[in-house]
């Protein structure tokens, strides 16, 4: 059985310091990976990427969540290229939620559509969990 821990990306510098301290405390556990959530409609996209970088230095694996709702192919491509260039090869793909007042759902209706797209465009570059 794999043990994983999940973090929400902080919004402030102090929050990132607290994230690091909490991760250090948990790093003594047999954690397979630490995942970082992806806010509604991608609202924490940059925070997710920053938190994954920090956690990657603490845990064996840091895994970003990526959601399809509110995303278009160009945005997904840019995010995934950034992850590849950073050496990341593991994703948690979710449908996600639209933030309140957000009108459009994006180019993907559900997680399976995004998984298919990632496989078509990026072949086997990523281990994908749904």
How far, in Å, CA of 130 to CA of 126, rounded? 12
Beta strands in the chain (DSSP E): 4-7, 33-36, 62-67, 90-94, 127-129
Q: Residue 6 catalytic?
A: yes
CB 47 within 8 A of CB 76: no
User: How far lies 29's CA from each of 24, 46, 95, in Å?
Assistant: 10, 27, 29
Gyration radius (Cα) of the chain, Å: 14
Could you say which of 2, 6, 24, 124 is catalytic? Answer: 6
Active site residues: 6
């Amino acid at each position: 059985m794999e043990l994983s821990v999940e973090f929400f990306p902080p919004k402030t510098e102090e929050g990132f310091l607290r994230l690091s301290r909490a991760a250090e405390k948990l790093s003594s556990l047999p954690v397979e990976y630490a995942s970082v959530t992806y806010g509604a409609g991608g609202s924490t996209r940059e925070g997710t990427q920053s938190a994954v970088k920090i956690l990657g230095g603490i845990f064996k694996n840091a895994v970003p969540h990526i959601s399809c709702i509110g995303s278009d192919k160009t945005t997904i491509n840019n995010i995934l290229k950034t992850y590849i260039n950073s050496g990341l090869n593991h994703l948690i793909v979710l449908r996600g939620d639209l933030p309140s007042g957000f009108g459009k759902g994006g180019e993907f209706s559900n997680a399976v559509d995004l998984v298919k797209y990632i496989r078509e465009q990026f072949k086997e570059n990523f281990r994908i969990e749904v």
